[in-house]
């Protein structure tokens, strides 16, 4: 499966663009600020129904325009050629279309075009809060497990309602235990399978991560990933949340549950967030993303599209060559990468003549192949 053609209108910095891509490595080169990352974001939109960089859809409409449209033609998707579109008009709901047919819910589209993005912001997986790592877990699993995605959506809705009720009771100096119990039952219904699915996922994912980390780092130090959840010690979520009702009442929010889960990452027994170098942190975050690719492929038997945004900031030239050799081989599918130096990209591919590739020069005036 690969994206053969992309048409965009009034999207971010672009008025119009119509680009044909190869099934191998597509290199978007040009100075900073010319729109390389915007093209990657358009590709990302067609997989996830949203931007990777800006969650407010209307802010991705080109300034002064009333809408944006992204159309992608995919070859080999469900063994045929299909068009996927995303259209956002000011003042109207966003539309995702598959062969001109609009989806009823965006969740129906997630996982249909698997995609993994590697960006300079990935280091936040190491340095950021638990919400960032939960988002990573949810993103990987949701592309491979529709039931998990539905449970996650429902759990989040129930959590919002329960927290709203807790806040209302606190403000009104009133407590209605039966009303809370109703929401507790729903949290348990949707939260318990979230926990068990995350456990199974990490059992499969961690060995894949270790393989990629060892390949990238070529070092002997060991990286450990551990699942942190309040449900590990007490897997009876119903009992756990019942015991927490008193604390929740005064905290005005739900203090226990899968929405508090995290993964801890340590290097030779020391937390990477505090003790790893920036280079080590970048290597770990890159290994996480490549492992995400491999896990999705192993599970779905479809190679995700791989977006590599500014990876030259992560690795030295020899590592870049090694990475391009890897992603340009049979193990990976279609790849998009950005760089600011055309000469560097040309040098790399001159030494890798067997890797299918196409270089696009991005300038303020347009796109040249």
Whether 21 contacts 6, CB under 8 Å: yes
- Here the tokens at position 155 are 């759990």
Indicate the SS3 state at residue 176. Answer: coil
Alpha-carbon span 109 to 111, nearest angstrom:
6
Burial class (CB in 10 A: 0-12, 13-18, 19+), 171: exposed
CA–chain centroid gap for 313, Å, is 20
CA distance from start to end of the chain? 22
Query: Strand runs (DSSP E) across the chain, as ranges?
Result: 2-11, 14-20, 25-29, 67-77, 80-89, 95-98, 101-102, 115-118, 223-228, 262-267, 270-271, 305-308, 335-339, 357-363, 366-368
264 Cβ contact list (under 8 Å, min separation 6) = 225, 226, 228, 271
269: helix, coil or strand? Answer: coil
* Interaxial angle between packed helices 177-217 and 278-300, expressed in degrees from 0 to 180 and rounded to the nearest 10: 110
Q: Label the pairing between strands 25-29 and 115-118.
A: unpaired
Cβ neighbour number for residue 321 with a 10 Å cutoff: 16
| Residues 14, 28 contacting (CB under 8 angstroms) | no
- Look-up of token digits 């992204």: 70
Please report how many Cα atoms fall inside a 13 Å half-sphere around the Cα of residue 347, on the Cβ side. Answer: 9
Helix (H/G/I), strand (E/B), else coil: 118 = strand
- Ordered by start, the domain boundaries in the chain are 1-114+304-369
pLDDT of the residue at 162: 96
Q: What is the pTM of this model?
A: 0.89
Distance CA 253, CA 245 (A): 10
- DSSP letter, residue 48: H
- φ, ψ of residue 56 to 5 degrees: the values are -95, 105
pLDDT at 282: 84
CATH class held by domain 1-114+304-369? alpha beta
- In angstroms, what CA-CA distances link 84 with 38, 89, 261? 18, 17, 34
Number of CB atoms found within 10 A of residue 21's CB: 21
CA 257, chain centre distance (Å): 23
CB atoms within 10 A of CB 99: 10
How far lies 349's CA from each of 29, 312, 367, in Å? 13, 14, 20
Q: Specify whether the CB–CB gap between 334 and 305 falls below 8 A.
A: yes
| Nearest one of 265, 321, 322 to 288, comparing CA atoms | 265
pLDDT in tens, the chain (369 residues): 899 999 999 999 999 999 999 999 999 998 888 899 999 999 999 999 999 999 899 999 999 999 999 999 999 877 689 999 999 999 999 999 999 899 999 999 999 999 999 988 888 999 999 999 999 999 999 999 999 999 999 999 999 999 999 999 999 988 898 999 999 999 999 999 999 999 999 999 999 999 988 888 776 678 899 999 999 988 799 999 999 999 999 999 999 999 999 999 998 888 898 888 887 888 899 899 999 999 999 998 889 999 999 877 666 677 777 777 777 777 788 999 998 887 888 888 888 778 888 999 998 888 887
Residue 365, φ and ψ in degrees, nearest 5: -85, -20
Predicted pLDDT at 46 = 96
Q: What is the pLDDT of residue 220?
A: 64
Within the chain, how many helices (H) and strands (E) appear?
Answer: 12, 15
Question: What pLDDT does residue 328 have?
Answer: 72
């Amino acid at each position: 499966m690969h994206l053969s053609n992309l048409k965009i209108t009034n999207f971010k910095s672009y008025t119009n663009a119509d680009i044909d891509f190869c099934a191998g490595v597509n290199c978007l080169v040009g100075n900073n600020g010319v729109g390389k990352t915007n093209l990657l974001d358009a590709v990302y939109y067609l997989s996830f129904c949203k931007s990777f960089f800006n969650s407010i859809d209307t802010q991705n409409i080109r300034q002064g325009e009333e809408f944006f449209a992204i159309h992608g033609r995919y070859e080999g998707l469900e063994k045929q050629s299909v068009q996927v579109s995303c259209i956002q008009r000011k003042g109207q709901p966003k539309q995702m279309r598959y062969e001109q047919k609009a989806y009823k819910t965006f969740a129906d589209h997630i996982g249909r075009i698997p995609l993994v993005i590697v960006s300079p912001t990935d280091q936040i997986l190491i340095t950021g809060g638990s919400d960032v790592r939960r988002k990573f877990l949810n993103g990987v699993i949701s592309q491979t497990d529709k039931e998990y995605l539905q449970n996650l959506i429902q759990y989040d809705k129930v959590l919002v309602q329960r927290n709203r009720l807790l806040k209302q009771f606190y403000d009104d100096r009133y407590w209605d235990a039966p009303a809370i119990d109703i929401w507790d039952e729903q949290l348990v219904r949707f939260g318990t399978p979230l926990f068990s699915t995350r456990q199974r996922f990490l059992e499969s994912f961690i060995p894949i991560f270790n393989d990629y980390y060892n390949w990238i780092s070529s070092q002997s130090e060991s990286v450990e990933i551990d699942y942190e959840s309040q449900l590990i010690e007490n897997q009876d979520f119903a009992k756990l949340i019942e015991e927490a009702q008193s604390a929740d009442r005064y905290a005005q929010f739900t203090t226990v549950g899968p929405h508090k889960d995290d993964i801890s990452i340590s290097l030779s027994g020391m937390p990477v967030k505090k003790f790893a170098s920036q280079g080590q942190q970048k290597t770990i975050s890159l290994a996480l993303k490549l492992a995400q690719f491999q896990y999705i492929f192993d599970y779905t038997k479809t190679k995700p599209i791989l977006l590599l945004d500014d990876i030259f900031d992560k690795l030295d030239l020899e590592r870049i060559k090694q990475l391009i050799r890897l992603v340009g081989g049979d193990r990976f599918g279609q790849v998009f990468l950005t760089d600011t130096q055309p000469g560097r990209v040309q040098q790399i591919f001159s030494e890798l003549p067997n890797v299918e590739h196409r270089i696009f020069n991005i300038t303020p005036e347009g796109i040249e192949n």
